[in-house]
Structure 1
Amino acid sequence: MSTTEIITAIMNIVLSGAAITTATVAILGLKSWSRELKGKAEFEVGRALILATYKLRDELKYARSPWICGYEFPEDYPRNSDEITAEIEANAHAHIYSKRWKPVAEAIQEFETQALEGEALWGKP
């Protein structure tokens, strides 16, 4: 074997080693990137689900509050207590609680959306 053949053989071995090293680093990098993406997705879905849960809790708490402010009554609600009948009172409270439940319905919808996303990511509950 001549010197040129030996150098060529060594060069081929070094190039093969470099190619194997590059492929190994690329595979490890892709695996790490995949784990990072999956972890980030799980974190974001979990965070959104927790936020939706807290929002639903807060909206339910507000809707169930026994305290009724004056601005919650309908505009045509009589200010004089002599004019208030049981039917007017019932209609006023129906108006108040129907307005209070609108944000609850929206919070439930958001919660359901986030729960479905979590179920899609993590599997059955």
Structure 2
Amino acid sequence: MNCTEIDWKLIFDILKSISIITASCVAIYGINSWRREARWKRKYELAEEVLSSMYEAHQAIKIIRSPIGFGNEGSSREKSKNETKEQTEIYNQAYVTRERFQRNKKSLEKLRRLKYRFITLYGKDYEKYFDKFSQTINRIFSASDLIARVKLGQFDHDKEFKLQIMKENSKILYNVFKGEDEIEEELKTAITAIEEKCRAIIGKNN
């Protein structure tokens, strides 16, 4: 074997090694690119799902807080044996919010489930905005119960104090069309915070 043959064999081996290394690098880059694309797609889909669920949950709360009622609302409540007609009317009226919640709870429950996926990716700082929806529902239930208790005469206070309770809790229980609606403003603040994060993710595709 002469020197020339050895040189060509060496060159061939070097080229072969380079091609293997190049192919490996391309494959690794492709895999990493695919992973980045898949990760971004999951984030994009989650952002869309969170936004749509939040809008639906917001609409559900508006329905629950609607001051417009129907004659049969609240009648699904199980009555006590010794209720008077007046008590039945008051209890049924208080139960309206729970009936409406049952009919509209899917979006609220979905939003609560999505919360954990969202904060896993973006941190617990966003948790409070999701929690605002469940906190609002609890405030609505509490307001409804307090108003019922006043009507049932369970507060041993003067008339002015009772009227104040009615006024404050009515603003929680019902949508306020004129003037400041504290509940609505709090929900809008929460929605805006999540919107900004989600749209920043969705906007990367544009």
TM-score, normalization by structure 1:
0.77
Q: In structure 2, what is the equivalent of residue 66 of structure 1? A: 67
Deviations 1:19-69 (A, max 9, x none): 111111012112211211210121122122112211210110111111123
Q: Give yes or no for the alignment of 1:16 onto 2:17.
A: yes
Aligned pairs for 1:71-110 (under 5 A) are: 72=73, 74=75, 85-110=85-110
Q: In structure 1, what is the equivalent of residue 58 of structure 2? A: 57
Q: Output the amino acid matched with 2:86.
A: A
Report the Cα offset of residue 71 of structure 1: 5.0
Q: Is contact 2:56-2:107 (8 Å) kept?
A: yes
Unmatched tracts of structure 1, length 5 or more: 76-84
Q: In structure 2, what is the equivalent of residue 78 of structure 1? A: none
Instruction: Provide the C-alpha distance between the structure 2 equivalents of 1:35 and 1:28, rounded to a whole number of angstroms.
Output: 10
Deviations 1:45-98 (A, max 9, x none): 2122112211210110111111123453527xxxxxxxxx53232133133222
Aligned length in residues: 118
Aligned pairs for 1:41-56 (under 5 A) are: 41-56=42-57
Higher relative contact order (CA 8 A, sep 6+): 1
Aligned pairs for 1:30-49 (under 5 A) are: 30-49=31-50
Q: Secondary structure at the match of 2:124?
A: coil
Q: Is contact 2:64-2:100 (8 Å) kept?
A: yes
Q: Which is further off, 92-101 or 52-61?
A: 92-101
Question: Computing the radius of gyration over CA atoms, which structure comes out larger, 1 or 2?
Answer: 1
Report the Cα offset of residue 3 of structure 1: 4.2
Report the Cα offset of residue 105 of structure 1: 4.3
Distance change in 2, residues 1:89/1:43 (3 Å)? same
Question: Kindly, what percent of the aligned residue pairs are identical?
Answer: 25
Q: Output the amino acid matched with 1:107.
A: S
RMSD of Structure 2 on Structure 1 (CA)? 2.5
Instruction: Provide the C-alpha distance between the structure 1 equivalents of 2:26 and 2:43, rounded to a whole number of angstroms.
Output: 26
TM-score, normalization by structure 2:
0.50
Q: Output the amino acid matched with 1:22.
A: A
Q: In structure 2, what is the equivalent of residue 114 of structure 1? A: 114
